[in-house]
């Protein structure tokens, strides 16, 4: 696929890195020549310097024969204008835009109609939703949803008092005691181990579990004896993500405090957020401030400023001072890999959340939704089953008869209002939505071909 990316900032660079690895033909446009040179040296892509909202720049970048436009320049107006030009002048088939302003992201249908946009992604909204899920499932390292929220896939680290220690998971992964969930994969010291009666679950193992979202919280509670509800949350950083997360949490039964260094921003937050959210001016790396605000009573501490180093330092400090769980927003992948699993419980990469939002548009075909897991190494995708027994390779087939790659497993089948955790003999029907997990995301290409419908299907 020939893909044109507008903007070489953090989002654009991350999109380029992920899409180049899937052997796409990538061109990236930005006004910063030095940034483009850096990306060209690192990845197999072409850089074009210039204003992405200008037709001649888009033409020189190859817009005439581009299959997909991803507009993620620094400003929303540039992205929206570029999408309008891409449709009207160059007839680019698929157009995706990144928007940052809530005024735009809350009016998606208007944007689509007015600017010729097919899909709207908001990294801030994606990250906010993801962080909220981690608070809702306090023992989970990662939570992603499918089927409009009906199915959840969780990654859970087994603690020293888990009821699952010494359990030998069978090959179907469905012998969890008193639990309607299935284990998709077990990771030990970063490597996958076989699901069979030879391998018993140990403390420190990471389990990838599929569960009906309605049963999700009960599932986590049963997997971890220590699970308790989150009541108190402290957020370091009052930017877009901090504000949106505080607002979302305020709709529930959480006691929320938000720390922000800028007095002007604090006043703005106080005027926008409900009165039960406590807005405090101060630096989250200030030990005395955290002490005074009873950090040791916080169930969850989240550092979501724009500075990786500040997020790391404040999270480490909060953990040392007694916060039960700390989550840090870290843009640099190397930093995230180093920090996660140390005193920092979870390092969240904004780029991975954004890539998840893009997977459906990049993959197209039968793909309904997709998410990257475990730092982008694994992947889960929801496929819509189209066609019939003649035109489809999966309709009428049982799970055990599917020719899936070794690392891939059918996590669930969404059939009308039912969430099915399939047995080997479960048969796939036309209209089903099938969620597949692959421990190695590169194997997902073979799965995609399996769900493609014959060209003669109408």
Give tens-digit pLDDT for 17-76. 878 866 788 999 999 999 999 999 998 899 999 999 999 999 999 999 999 999 999 899
Note the pLDDT of residue 454: 62
Residue 127 placed within a domain: no
Whether residue 243 sits in one domain with residue 347: yes
Note the pLDDT of residue 115: 92
Note the pLDDT of residue 85: 94
Burial tier of 311 (Cβ tally within 10 Å: 0-12, 13-18, 19+): buried
Note the pLDDT of residue 458: 42
Whether residue 367 sits in one domain with residue 316: no
Residue 456 placed within a domain: no
Whether residue 346 sits in one domain with residue 237: yes
Q: Are 146 and 435 in contact (CB under 8 A)?
A: yes
Q: Which helix (H) or strand (E) holds 379?
A: strand 378-384
Residue 458 placed within a domain: no
Note the pLDDT of residue 190: 79
Whether residue 43 sits in one domain with residue 11: yes
Residue 444 placed within a domain: yes
Whether residue 162 sits in one domain with residue 112: no
Residue 135 placed within a domain: no
Helix axes 350-363, 10-20, angle to 10 degrees: 50
| Single residue among 286, 319, 352 that ends a domain in this structure | 352
Whether residue 236 sits in one domain with residue 218: no
Parts of the chain with a pLDDT under 50: 455-458
Which residue shows structure tokens 């020719």? Answer: 403
Residue 133 placed within a domain: no
Note the pLDDT of residue 139: 76
Work out the number of other CB atoms within 10 angstroms of the CB of residue 104.
20
Note the pLDDT of residue 248: 92
Residue 70 belongs to domain with CATH number: 3.40.50.720
Residue 175 belongs to domain with CATH number: 3.30.70.1450
Whether residue 77 sits in one domain with residue 13: yes
Whether residue 214 sits in one domain with residue 147: yes
Number of domains in the chain: 4
Note the pLDDT of residue 456: 45
Whether residue 346 sits in one domain with residue 240: yes
Note the pLDDT of residue 238: 92
Query: What is the SS3 assignment for 5?
Result: strand
What tokens does 415 get? 């059939």
Work out the number of other CB atoms within 10 angstroms of the CB of residue 145.
18
| Single residue among 86, 121, 156 that ends a domain in this structure | 121
| Single residue among 224, 241, 262 that ends a domain in this structure | 224
Whether residue 342 sits in one domain with residue 270: yes
Whether residue 110 sits in one domain with residue 19: yes
Whether residue 316 sits in one domain with residue 273: yes
Residue 134 placed within a domain: no
Q: Which helix (H) or strand (E) holds 246?
A: helix 240-250
Residue 376 lies in domain: 359-451
Residue 260 placed within a domain: yes
């Amino acid at each position: 696929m020939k893909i044109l990316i507008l903007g070489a900032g953090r989002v654009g660079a991350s999109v380029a890195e992920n899409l180049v690895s899937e052997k796409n033909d990538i061109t990236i446009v930005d006004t910063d020549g030095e940034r483009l040179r850096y990306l060209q040296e690192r990845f197999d892509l072409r850089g074009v310097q210039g204003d992405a909202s200008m037709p001649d720049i888009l033409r020189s970048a190859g817009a005439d024969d581009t299959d997909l436009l991803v507009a993620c320049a620094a400003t929303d107006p540039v992205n929206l204008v570029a999408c309008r030009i891409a449709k009207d002048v160059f007839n680019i088939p698929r157009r995706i835009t990144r928007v940052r302003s809530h005024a735009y992201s809350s009016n998606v249908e208007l944007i689509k109609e007015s600017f010729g946009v097919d899909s709207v992604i908001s990294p801030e909204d994606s990250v906010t939703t993801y962080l909220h899920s981690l608070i809702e499932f306090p023992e989970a390292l990662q939570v992603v949803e499918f089927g409009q929220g009906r199915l959840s896939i969780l990654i859970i680290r087994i603690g020293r008092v888990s009821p699952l220690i010494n359990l030998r998971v069978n090959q179907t992964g469905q012998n969890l005691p008193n639990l309607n969930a299935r284990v998709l994969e077990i990771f030990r010291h970063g490597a996958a181990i076989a699901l069979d009666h030879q391998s018993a679950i140990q403390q420190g193992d990471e389990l990838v579990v599929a569960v009906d979202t309605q049963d999700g919280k009960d599932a986590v509670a049963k997997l971890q004896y220590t699970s308790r509800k989150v009541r108190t949350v402290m957020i370091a950083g009052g930017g877009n993500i901090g504000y949106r997360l505080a607002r979302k949490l305020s709709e529930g039964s959480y006691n929320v405090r938000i720390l922000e260094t800028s007095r002007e921003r604090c006043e703005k937050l106080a005027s926008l957020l409900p009165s039960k959210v406590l807005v405090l001016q101060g630096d989250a790396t200030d030990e005395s401030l955290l002490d005074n605000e009873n950090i040791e009573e916080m169930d969850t501490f989240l550092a979501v400023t724009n500075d990786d180093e500040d997020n790391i330092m404040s999270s480490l400090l909060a953990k040392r001072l007694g916060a039960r769980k700390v989550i840090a927003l870290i843009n640099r992948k190397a930093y995230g890999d180093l920090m996660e699993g140390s005193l920092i419980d979870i390092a969240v990469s904004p780029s991975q959340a954004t890539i998840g939002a893009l997977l459906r548009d990049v993959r197209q075909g039968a793909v309904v939704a997709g998410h990257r897991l475990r730092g982008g190494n694994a992947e889960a995708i929801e496929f819509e089953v189209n066609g019939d027994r003649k035109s489809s390779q999966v309709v009428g087939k049982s799970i055990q008869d599917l020719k899936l790659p070794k690392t891939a497993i059918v996590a669930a089948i969404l059939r009308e209002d039912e969430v099915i955790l399939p047995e080997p003999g479960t048969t796939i029907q036309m209209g089903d939505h099938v969620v597949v997990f692959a421990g190695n995301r590169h194997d997902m290409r073979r799965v995609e071909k399996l769900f493609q419908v014959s060209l003669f299907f109408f």
